[in-house]
């Protein structure tokens, strides 16, 4: 016979077990929460060939086990592109859904009057482009917040003329934001003797795996931990692998020195001349990136979902991992990495500057699949809204496509469609900036490059045509991703058709084109026909300049103005001026204008600025602002003017 007390305990024990089993099955039977979480990880300057699972041809020495493992859990895109070859325009495009050409945000910084890098050495002048994403832009974060999401930003922002200039994340729809550079702050005294230690008081104290404490990474984990009980959107913009090129982990640096057969004693505080992917500092940085984002993946995998008992956060979270542009191959004095077989790198519209790693995982995403379907960072906006069941705001322009259907069946390119239902087969880039000065368009397997440096100089080819891939048996066969064989001369018909399509796309977006520099020190067709400004008149907020044409017709006039001349974050805007009879251009100064400049553009695309501004080199050398050389609405005396220019007041 059982003891009554034992019997009672026995019953209680099995009752508890029964209830636990019932509750467990009840939890497992709960429906998936309607609003899945979103984690968008945007690495900085990470090249297509820097991630181990993207190895083609010669293997990369970098080790990225966490990102490689992520690829097995979702879809890896072999032909993913950034919206632009530099960071700020790509970031703005991802967050706004607007193509950089349409947004007039084509490069970093911006918000300045057009002027050459060097007055006589630079033939082409970049056009005016915006310094930031407009404050009233309907960002992805704003839409998600309206749909019940807690929105968080961690790390780099750079969607304004400066990291700290307006607008900031909290102005663009983010509830929670932290941007500490953490271990990416410059090492002192230098990168070869400023390593982190195990000392308790060390700000960058090494963890048990030999990696330095990185506030950027810890901030991402803090957001997830604080917001895990509600639908969240985390935009984790890593500072890695952007310069400065260093690692605080001596252990990690030594690992790559050993792997690359480099004597650590030969390393210098600055500079690396080794070709290819041989820079041990950079290799260590790539592994650091992998380690820190891996901590996010681990957190999602091992943390219970408060909204879905019995499940982990990862089961109802979409993760997007990518880069803001192609790899930065280095600068004069230091080689960072090599994007080969892709040509060029960041700051260029060749494949090395715009092709990026992209991996997407989540509840409805196919597992362990690699696809050749062509996609773009512009697709994130409509895709994320589709994944969470949110509608695109009425009247909101969207330049990307919804990839939701493709994520379920990644080898079906016909699933990537525009809003009107047509299948996308074309992609375009516009980068009329820096030394590249080019636009590009890809249609199917062909890619066309348009070089603006050809203007006035027949020695520079205007157009380049490359066959990147060729369709064969339903697959894309690699042909010339190196962009080594220019087919423009052999395929004139296709070249002409693609160039016309590029013009059509740019015209629809009202893109801005580069100008020719009338002060260029070498012969340039049409330079002797550029107009001269003869006088200008001021009547309250109404301003007018008169000019004398010298053989080339002025076809456009712009007023470039600022509302905060002389301030720390001096920012310039552009409006069209009116071309009036009698060779005049008129404009009304926007309220609050402090300084302004007139731009006249002739039929040969030459730019005449009034007043003439110093080149960028002079501005940097003298540490002066554009406003110091522009027309001041309050000044009694005018700045230096072109010879013969006379001011008239009414």
DSSP character at residue 315: G
CA dist 336 and 204 (Å) reads 24
pLDDT, position 410: 85
pLDDT, position 1: 36
Query: What average pLDDT is seen over the chain?
Result: 92
DSSP character at residue 413: G
* CB 342 within 8 Å of CB 326: yes
pLDDT digits (tens, 9 = 90+) for 80-117: 999 999 999 999 999 999 999 999 999 999 999 999 99
Query: CATH says 429-516 is which class?
Result: alpha beta
Least-confidence region, from 169-173, 312-316, 381-385, 417-421: 417-421
Q: Helix, strand, or coil here: 585?
A: strand
3-state DSSP helix/strand/coil % of the chain, to nearest 5:
25, 25, 50
Residue 269 phi/psi, 5-degree rounding, is: -65, -30
HEC secondary structure over 381-393:
HHHHHHHHCCCCC
Place of tokens 């080794």: 274
Domain 527-649, second-level architecture:
Sandwich (2.60)
Per CATH, 37-408 and 527-649 having the same topology is answered no
pLDDT, position 387: 97
Q: Is 347 left (phi over 0), alpha (psi -120 to 50) or beta?
A: left
pLDDT, position 473: 83
pLDDT, position 22: 38
Q: What mean pLDDT is predicted for residues 299-317? A: 98
DSSP character at residue 428: E
Give per-residue burial for 351-388: e unless 16+ CB within 10 Å, then b.
bbbbbbbbbbbbeebbeebebebbbbbbbbbbbbbbbb
Q: What mean pLDDT is predicted for residues 217-245? A: 97
- Domain ranges in the chain are 1-30, 37-408, 429-516, 527-649
Q: What dihedral do alpha carbons 48, 53, 58, 61 form, nearest 10°?
A: 90
pLDDT, position 645: 55
pLDDT digits (tens, 9 = 90+) for 327-340: 999 998 899 999 99
pLDDT, position 459: 76
pLDDT digits (tens, 9 = 90+) for 562-573: 999 999 999 999
Angle at 189 between CA 184 and CA 190, to 5 degrees: 60
pLDDT digits (tens, 9 = 90+) for 483-525: 999 999 999 999 999 999 999 999 999 999 999 999 999 999 9
pLDDT > 50? residue 560: yes
Residue 258 phi/psi, 5-degree rounding, is: -65, -40
pLDDT > 70? residue 12: no
Residue 547 phi/psi, 5-degree rounding, is: -140, 160
DSSP character at residue 212: B
> 237 has which bridge partners?
42, 155
pLDDT > 90? residue 16: no
pLDDT digits (tens, 9 = 90+) for 449-496: 999 988 766 778 999 999 999 998 878 899 999 999 999 999 999 999
pLDDT, position 454: 85
CATH 2.40.170.20 fits 37-408, yes or no: no
Q: Which two tokens stand for residue 220?
A: 């991402």
Could you tell me how far CA 416 lies from the centroid of its own chain? 22
């Amino acid at each position: 016979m059982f003891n009554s007390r034992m019997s009672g305990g026995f019953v209680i024990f099995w009752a508890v077990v029964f209830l636990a089993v019932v509750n467990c099955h009840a939890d497992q039977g709960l429906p998936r929460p309607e609003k899945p979480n979103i984690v968008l990880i945007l690495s900085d300057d990470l090249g297509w060939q820097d991630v181990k699972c993207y190895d083609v041809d010669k293997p990369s020495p970098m080790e990225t086990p966490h990102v490689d493992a992520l690829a097995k859990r979702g879809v890896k895109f072999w032909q993913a592109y950034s919206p632009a070859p530099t960071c700020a325009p790509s970031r703005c495009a991802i967050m706004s859904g607007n193509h950089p050409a349409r947004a007039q945000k084509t490069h970093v910084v911006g918000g300045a009057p057009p002027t050459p890098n060097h007055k006589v050495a630079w033939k082409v002048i970049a056009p005016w482009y915006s310094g930031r994403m407009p404050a009233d832009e309907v960002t992805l974060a704003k839409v998600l917040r309206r749909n019940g999401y807690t929105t968080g930003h961690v790390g780099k922002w750079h969607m304004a003329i400066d990291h700290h200039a307006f607008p900031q994340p909290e102005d663009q729809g983010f509830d929670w934001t932290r941007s500490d550079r953490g271990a990416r702050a410059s090492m002192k005294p230098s990168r070869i003797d400023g390593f982190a230690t195990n000392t308790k008081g060390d700000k960058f104290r090494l963890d048990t795996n030999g990696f330095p404490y990185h506030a950027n990474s810890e901030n991402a984990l803090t957001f997830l931990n604080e917001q895990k009980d509600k639908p969240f959107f985390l935009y984790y913009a890593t500072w890695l692998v952007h310069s400065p090129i260093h690692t605080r982990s001596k252990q990690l640096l030594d690992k790559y020195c050993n792997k690359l057969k480099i004597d650590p004693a030969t390393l210098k505080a600055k500079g690396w001349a080794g070709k290819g992917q041989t820079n041990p500092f950079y290799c260590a940085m790539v592994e650091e990136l992998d380690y820190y984002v891996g901590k996010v993946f681990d957190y999602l995998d091992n943390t219970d979902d408060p909204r879905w008992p019995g499940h982990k956060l990862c089961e109802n979270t979409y993760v997007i991992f990518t880069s803001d542009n192609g790899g930065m191959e280095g600068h004069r004095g230091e080689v960072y990495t090599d994007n080969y077989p892709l040509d060029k790198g960041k700051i260029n519209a060749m494949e090395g500057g715009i092709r990026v790693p992209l991996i997407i995982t989540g509840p409805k995403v196919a597992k362990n699949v690699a696809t050749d379907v062509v996609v773009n960072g512009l697709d994130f906006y409509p895709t994320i809204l589709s994944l969470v069941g949110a509608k695109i705001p009425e009247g909101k322009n969207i330049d990307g496509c919804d990839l939701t259907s493709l994520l379920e069946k990644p080898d079906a390119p016909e699933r990537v469609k525009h809003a009107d239902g047509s299948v996308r087969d074309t992609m375009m880039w516009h980068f009329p900036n820096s030394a590249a000065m080019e636009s590009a368009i890809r249609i199917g397997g062909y890619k066309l490059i348009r070089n603006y440096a050809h203007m006035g100089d027949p020695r520079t080819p205007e157009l380049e045509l490359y066959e990147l891939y060729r369709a064969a048996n339903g697959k894309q066969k690699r042909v010339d991703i190196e962009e080594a064989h220019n087919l423009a001369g052999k395929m004139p018909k296709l070249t002409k058709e693609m160039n016309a399509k590029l013009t059509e796309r740019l015209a629809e977006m009202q893109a801005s084109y580069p100008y020719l520099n009338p002060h260029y020190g070498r012969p340039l067709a049409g330079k002797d026909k550029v107009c001269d400004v003869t006088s200008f008149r001021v009547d309250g907020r109404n301003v007018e300049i008169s000019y004398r044409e010298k053989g080339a017709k002025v076809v456009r006039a712009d007023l470039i103005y600022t509302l905060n001349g002389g301030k720390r974050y001096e920012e310039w805007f552009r409006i069209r001026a009116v071309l009036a009879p009698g060779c005049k251009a008129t404009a009304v100064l926007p309220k609050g204008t402090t300084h302004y400049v007139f731009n006249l553009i002739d039929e040969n695309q030459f730019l005449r600025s009034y007043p003439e501004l110093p080149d960028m080199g002079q501005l940097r050398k003298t540490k002066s602002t554009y406003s110091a050389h522009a027309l001041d609405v309050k000044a009694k005396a005018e700045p230096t003017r072109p010879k013969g220019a006379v001011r008239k007041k009414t």
